[in-house]
Chain A
C-alpha cells in the first residue's frame, strides 16, 4: 500500500458567481521514501493540491470530493484538532518564503523545541539536544550558538535550512514542500535542493515537491505530475516525462524552457495562456492552445490513461482518431 493515496480529489471555491473548481478529479499515490514532483504554471492547482493534503486550504476553499488516505486511513474528513496532530507529526511542511514561515518573536531554538515536544514525548533538555542536532544536520555552522538566535539573524538560505529542520524534527514520513527554493538565489537553491534530497533519503521520508521549476524537478523528483487548469495532464517517471513527454502540454512546456548550449533563433512557444477558472473550455482544458487539437477535443474530456511509462490525459491515447 502506498504511503499517501489521493483519489479523485476535488477542491472548490464557492464564489458569488458560482462554485469554482481549482483542483478537478486528481488522483495519485506517493510511495514510501519517494519524491513526487508536482509541476505546473501559476493557477494550475498545484499548491491547492498540496494544501488539501496537509489540511491547510484557506477558507472558503474546501475539499469538494474524493479521498486522501495516509497509510490507508482517511485524513480528508478529520476535524481541525485531529488534523493538527497529523500535521508536523506525520506530514511536515516547507513553504516558499522562509521569513514568513518562522515566528520572528521566538528564537529558532524555541521554535524547534516547541515542535519537537508537541509531537514527541521528550524532556526540555532532551528536546534541546535534539534541536541542536537538527541544526547541525541541516548544515548550520555553530548550531549551539545559533540555537539562541532569532530568524532575522539568519541569511535567506540559512533560514530555509531552519524551516527544513522544523519540518523534519518530529520525523514525519511525508513532507509537502511548496516552492521551497523559489525565494532563494541560484547558488543557494542548489544547496537547499541537495539538502532536502539527502534528509529525505536518510530518513526514508517521502515528499511532494510543488514547483513551477522543471530544473528543480529534474534534479530532485523520482516521479512527476504535470498539472494544467486544475487537472492532471500527465504523471510518470521523471526521466520519461521530461525527455519523452506524452501530453502535448508537457511537450510544449519542455520546449519553451530556454537551455544552455547552442542558441536557437526561436523558442518553442505555446500560444495563449492558461484559462481562468471561470472559463475552462469544455472537453480537454488544453484544447485552445494544443498544436495537435482535433474535433473530439472540444467535446470529450480525456481521462488519465495508463501508458507503457506513466499515464497521460489526452485523447491521442484513447484510440479516438482525429
Chain B
C-alpha cells in the first residue's frame, strides 16, 4: 500500500465538496390531479465530499442505486449538480456546461461499462478514436492523426490495421481496448471508469485491469474507478469510498479499508465477497436489501439493517469523521466506540487478510 497522506502529494487533482444531485419524481399529470400529494425527490447524491490525489486511484463502491454512477456523470459534466462544487486542478467546473471549459474537459475523459453500447457501430475504429482529437484540434493533418491513432491502437494492445474495421468485428475485451484508446487520445490526466470490466469475462477482465494499471504507471493517470466488485477494487485502488443511498459512509486508504473496515455497511459488503479458499461456505449472510431511495430511512440511512443501531442512529444523520490512518467514516457507533473494535493504526503494515485468502 503506497497511499501517502494527501498532504505529501500536493493539492489533489480532483476535489468534490458537498456534491448533490436531486431528481424530481413527478407523477403523471392525472395522478397528481386525482391523488394530490407532495412532489417527491430522489436524493441520488446527497452531500458528497471527496478528493483524489494526483496519480492515484479512488474507487467508489456500493450496490445498485447508491449513486456511484451519478457521481461519475456529475464530474464529467454529463449531468448538472443540484448543489456543491467540483474542483479540477483548482478550477470549479460544477456550473460549466457540458464540454466547457474545453482546456479542462480535454484533460478528463471517461470509460463506460458496456463496450457494445459505447462505440458507434457505423463508424470505423480509426474514426471513433480520432473523434476526440478532431474535437480538440490536436492533429495538424490527417496523416498525423492516423499516425496517432495507430500508435494508440498499438498502445492498448491492438493492431494498427484494426483501425479500418468496424466495432462488430471485435470481441468485448477488444472493444473495451478501443474505448480506452479513445479515452486516452487527448492525453488526459484524469479518467473516470464506470464499471469498465463488468460486462467482460474474467480472463478478459484481467487483461483490461492489467492494461489500466500499466497505463497509470506509464502515463501518470489519476482514476476515479467505479465498481460493485470489491476484489476488483482492491486490485485497482489507493483509496476506496463506500456509498450507501447517495451518501459516503466510509472513505479510507484501500489496505486500511480491507484490514479494518469501520462502518457496519462496509463490513457487510466485505463479508459478501465469496471466498475462493472456501472458508466461508456455511456463513449466515446479512439480511435485508437496499431500501427505496425515494423514501430512505431517517437518520442514518443504514439503520434498519444495522446491528449496532440505537435511538440516535434512527433520528440523527451521522457525518464523515476523521480517524487514525486516514480513515473517514460516518457512523455514530464508530464515533462512540459502540460494539466496534478500536481502529488499529499498525494494521496496515501487516496483511491480516492474508490468512483468509
Contact = CB atoms under 8 A, between A and B. Distances in A.
- Are A and B genuine complex partners? yes
Instruction: Pick the most buried of A191, A263, A266: most chain B CB atoms within 10 A of its CB.
Output: A263
A273 B158 CA distance: 13
A155 B288 CA distance: 11
Given A191-B287, A239-B278, A273-B204, A260 B228 contact: no
Interface string A83-105: 00000000000000000000000
Contact of A266 (B210, B351, B357): B210
Contacts of A215: 273-276
B203 A188 contact: no
A256 B205 contact: yes
Interface string B191-233: 0000000000111111101100100000000000000111110
Contacts of A267: 206, 209-210, 235
Contacts of B173: 273
Contacts of A273: 171-174, 201, 203-204
A317 B89 CA distance: 58
Interface string A260-272: 1111111111110
Contacts of B277: 218, 243
Nearest to A256: B206
Contact of B357 (A156, A157, A186, A259): A259
A188 B280 contact: no
A256 B203 contact: yes
Given A186-B228, A186-B269, A41 B351 contact: no
Interface residues of B, number: 53
Given A41-B202, A185-B290, A191-B287, A218 B276 contact: yes
A242 interface: yes
A218 B274 contact: yes
Contact of B353 (A158, A258, A260): A260
B268 interface: yes
A189 interface: yes
Contacts of B275: 215, 218-219
Nearest to A158: B289
B228 to A, nearest CB: 6
B269 A187 contact: yes
Instruction: Pick the most buried of A190, A253, A274: most chain B CB atoms within 10 A of its CB.
Output: A190
Interface residues of A, number: 48
A315 interface: no
Nearest to A276: B171
B258 A260 contact: yes
Given A258-B235, A260-B231, A194 B284 contact: yes
B351 A185 contact: no
B235 A219 contact: no
Contacts of A185: 63-64, 228, 289-290
Nearest to B197: A258
Contacts of B255: 263
B120 interface: no
B64 A262 contact: no
Interface string B268-300: 111111111110110111111110000000000
Contacts of B280: 219
A66 interface: no
A269 B285 contact: no
A247 B260 CA distance: 37
A155 B65 CA distance: 13
B281 A219 contact: yes
B254 interface: yes
A216 B202 CA distance: 14
Contact of A261 (B174, B203, B232, B234): B234
A263 B275 CA distance: 16
A243 B276 CA distance: 8
A215 B268 CA distance: 17
A214 interface: yes
A214 B351 contact: no
A61 interface: no
Contacts of A186: 63, 228-230, 269, 272-273
18 contacts: A186-B273, A187-B63, A190-B283, A191-B285, A216-B274, A218-B277, A256-B203, A256-B205, A257-B202, A258-B229, A259-B276, A260-B258, A260-B353, A261-B258, A269-B203, A269-B206, A273-B172, A273-B174
Given A260-B356, A273-B173, 4 more contacts: A190-B286, A218-B281, A258-B206, A263-B235
The 8 closest A-B pairs by CB, nearest first: A215-B274, A256-B206, A190-B285, A41-B201, A261-B357, A185-B63, A267-B206, A258-B235
